[in-house]
Amino acid sequence: MRILVTGAAGVVGTEVAARLAAGTAGRTGPQIVHTARRAPGDTPVRWNIGSEPAPEALTGRPWDVIVHTAASTRWTMTRDEATDANIRTLRDVLGLAGPDTHVVHVSTAYVGGVRAPEDLRGAEFEGYRNGYEWSKARCEEIVTTEHRGPVTIVRPPLVMGRRGDGHIARFSGPYSLFPALVSGLAAVVVGDPGGFAEISPVDEVAEAIAAAALGPVPSAPRTEVIAAGPDSLRLDTLVRITCDTLNAFRAEHGVEPIAKPPTVSTDSWNRFFLPLAEQWLSPVQQQAVKLLAMFQSYTSMGEPFEPTRKVADPGGVLAASVRHWAESKPRQALSRPVPWTLINAA
């Protein structure tokens, strides 16, 4: 069995590569090849997908399985940027697939679910929150309609560290909340305190992907949704666990605790506080406000996802992830919060 894994240096790809190696250890026959946009040597194979042809090492004959984890997950992408980063790269990867190749495509759970009107960013993204979601929805359509062979789509929610030790290859996405809390940039949390915040540990995401790659080939396109469902964290609980975990770390180092910020409804924020923030806050604070505004719709959903693979104890996953971040970034985790400053106040 020949398996190609794209994006092997990414958050999910790193874990998938390790999981596949463990799942095929001691077995004769499986050949696993990894690609990455930046690779110092021959392993993984360097391939800047979408910007250059596939290397000769990847061509010649179709693969039995292609696990496509490579993607840009930036919420700030324009439509053109998302097209280049995610849609064009998928088409290039599908060029290596034959009619019998099982394509395991990593998408996002936020392609589905309920989106509130205030979550949307204009007609450019056709009812999705941002370019990342829009491009992933388009990719699902492409892979299920244009690929002639079997397809499995894996939809994770916000990806956190491993369940046991919180380890993750790179801090991105939801990890932007942690430094914002300890620096004081997250002076308020915007959203519904009772809203759902779906997270999953990266090792369980990788387990679902590896199981699809090494398991029976589906006879029709299959979708795996990784989520806690009704047992998902609520926004208020997510913030409380995060602050409690950070404060436990700070107490161990003799540093004063941070305060749990108040929660402001999305409507009140957009109608009253945001216009004031845009007028009076510093450029750095305004940028933090914009980034956290994109994050808010992911952590106060009106309904949870319906999982095919259920995440147990998401609170424990979050606590382990926060702890690992603090131990990896002690200067940030132990910093002193700086209150918002009104730079134009007279």
Beta bridge partners of 137: none
DSSP state letters, 208-241: HHHHHHHSPPPSS-EEEEEE-GGGPEEHHHHHHH
Phi-psi region of 122 (alpha: psi -120 to 50; beta: other; left: phi over 0): left
Nearest to 158 by CA among 168, 169, 173, 170: 173
* Spatial contact of 309 and 204, defined as CB atoms under 8 Å apart: yes
pLDDT score for 345: 42
From CA 53, how far away is CA 48, in angstroms rounded? 8
Q: How far is CA 263 from CA 116, 133, 142, 337, in A?
A: 18, 26, 40, 18
For the segment 65-124, what is each residue's pLDDT rounded down to a tens digit? 999 999 999 888 999 999 999 999 999 999 999 999 999 999 999 998 776 666 666 677
pLDDT score for 41: 57
3-state secondary structure 8-41: CCCHHHHHHHHHHHHHHCCCCCCEEEEEECCCCC
Residues of the chain with pLDDT under 70: 29, 39-42, 115-122, 277-278, 280-282, 284-294, 340-346
DSSP state letters, 294-309: HHHTTSSBSS----SE
